Amino acid sequence: MPGASVQPPPAGGFWIHLKADAALASFATTQVSNQISLCLGQIRILDIQIQLDGPLSQDVLDQISRLPDVSSEDRGGRRAIYASRDIDLQALLKGIDFALPTLPPGPISSRVSFFGENYHEVGFLAWSLELTEASAGNVEMTLRPAEGARPEDECPNLEVDVRGAILDITVPTPTPPPPPEPSPTARIDPPGRPISPRLVEQTRDSLTLQWDFPIEARSFNLYLDGTRVAMGHITPNYYRFEGLRVNTGYRLGVSSVNAGGESEIVTITGNTINGRNTSGNF
């Protein structure tokens, strides 16, 4: 069920709580300003990434593997934890909780992404903190209407209150910002190409492309017949091209993106079908 909550973790665990203020119940669609930009009426998926320095103990990894909607991986010497859940505005009004095991002391950074249809990112926020052994490890994020916001506004301004961490990123529109400029003393190389792109679903009017991502990638650009049509997140690693013509061939492309730039576009061809739909894992 979207937005189902869990109980806070035992003492020493790490707890993330996201909630929309009850005042937002009368807003059909909303956009966050002030700290982040977001169209709440469009959101379908909440995706949280947490980056930590150094490895996690095997006990913590085992606990993470047993949690629903949570996974982890080693990314170039840093540990990344991913938590994802289907949500909507009503789920946000009820509150959404993610309970994680005890995390080791040290710096933590997180990106909270909101995705709409076809996994297009419609807004995000980011926070960081220095976790100590004495830290409660609780981060609470609350969205509420800004002063002057009205229910009849199509995209009213909202404010974001983050407790237990420091809000890092401010953006004025739902469009993800350009990659940050590298420092003069450090050069960031573009990421490697997406790995093993493959067609996993064919229907009369859609094609679904899946790929594996290199560890240095932060997002992906999707291309249809050479034209960029969307930006994808590293999770999930697939995209459905919809609204296509029946029994027609298309070139499906994907590239990796990070602060150093964009990789070469990897392209495969695929055909919509003329008969009964055939599906893969999606």
Domain 195-271 listed as CATH 2.60.40.10 = yes
CB 220 within 8 A of CB 227: no
Query: What pLDDT, on the 0 to 100 scale, is given for residue 268?
Result: 93
Confidence (pLDDT) at 272:
92
Domain ranges in the chain? 14-167, 195-271
Whole-model pTM: value is: 0.53
Q: In a structure prediction context, what are the per-residue pLDDT tens digits for the chain, which is 282 residues long?
A: 343 444 444 445 677 778 877 777 666 544 343 334 456 667 788 888 888 887 788 888 888 888 877 888 776 667 888 888 888 878 888 888 888 888 888 888 888 887 776 666 666 777 888 887 655 578 888 888 777 766 665 555 667 788 888 776 443 333 343 444 544 545 567 788 888 889 998 998 899 998 887 777 777 888 999 888 877 666 667 888 888 889 999 999 999 887 777 888 999 999 998 865 554 444
Q: Taking phi first (over 0 means left), then psi (-120 to 50 degrees means alpha), and beta for anything else, what does residue 106 get?
A: left
Reduce the secondary structure of the chain to three states and give it as a string: CCCCCCCCCCCCCEEEEEEECHHHHHCCCCECCCCCCEEHHHCCEEEEEEEEEECCCHHHHHHHHCCCCEEEEEECCEEEEEEEEECCHHHHHHCEEEEECCCCCEEEEEEEEEECHHHCEEEEEEEEEEECCCCCCEEEEEEEECCCCCCCCCCCCEEEEEECCEECCCCCCCCCCCCCCCCCCCCCCCCCCCEEEEEEEECCCEEEEEEECCCCCCEEEEEECCEEEEEEECCCCEEEEECCCCCCEEEEEEEEEECCEECCCEEEEEECCCCCCECCCC
Cα 264 to the center of its chain, rounded Å: 23
Q: Rounded to 10 degrees, what is the CA torsion of 61, 63, 65, 67?
A: -140
pLDDT value, residue 249: 92
Q: Name all contacts of 225-233 with Cβ < 8 Å and 24+ positions apart.
A: 225/250, 225/251, 226/251, 226/253, 230/118, 230/120, 231/120, 231/121, 231/176, 231/257, 232/119, 232/120, 233/47, 233/113, 233/115, 233/119, 233/121
Contact partners, residue 97, CB within 8 Å, separation at least 6:
5, 6, 7, 8, 15, 16, 17
In what order do the strands lie in the sheet containing 106-115? 70-75, 78-86, 45-53, 106-115, 121-131, 166-167
